[in-house]
Amino acid sequence: MVEVVSLGEGSMVSPTHQLDVIGFFCPVPVAEAKKALSNMDVGQILEVLADDPETVYDMPLLTARGKNLILSIEEKAGELRFLIEVIE
């Protein structure tokens, strides 16, 4: 599992797509991320902004199937930023 670090201390890559699911709770953040990732090409990077604490556990489960890779998870004041790369 990727370590959660403070905002600004994660991966320095620039996202190609952004998904803001602040204010939404399970299962919406993961379902929307899955939908967004399915429409992206290999090498593209999705930035997901969320505030549901369960996403720290759910996003790695989403990527565990090997088609996507979490590059970083950052947190500040309860808001999370995930960078997920499409690898397959």
This model's pTM is above 0.85: yes
Whether residue 26 lies in the annotated active site: yes
Q: Say how far apart CA 70 and CA 20 lie, in whole Å.
A: 17
Catalytic annotation, pick one of 7, 26, 64, 87: 26
Please give the domain boundaries of the chain with CATH numbers for all domains: 4-86 (3.30.110.40)
Q: Is 16 helix (H, G, I), strand (E, B) or coil?
A: coil
Convert the pLDDT of each residue in 16-75 to its tens digit: 999 999 999 999 999 999 999 999 999 999 999 999 999 999 999 999 877 999 999 999
Inform me whether the pLDDT recorded for 88 exceeds 90: no
Which are the contacts of 14, defined by CB distance < 8 A and separation ≥ 6? 45
At 1, the pLDDT band (50, 70, 90 cuts) reads low
Task: Give Cβ neighbours of residue 17 (< 8 Å, ≥ 6 apart).
Answer: 36, 40, 44, 45, 46, 47
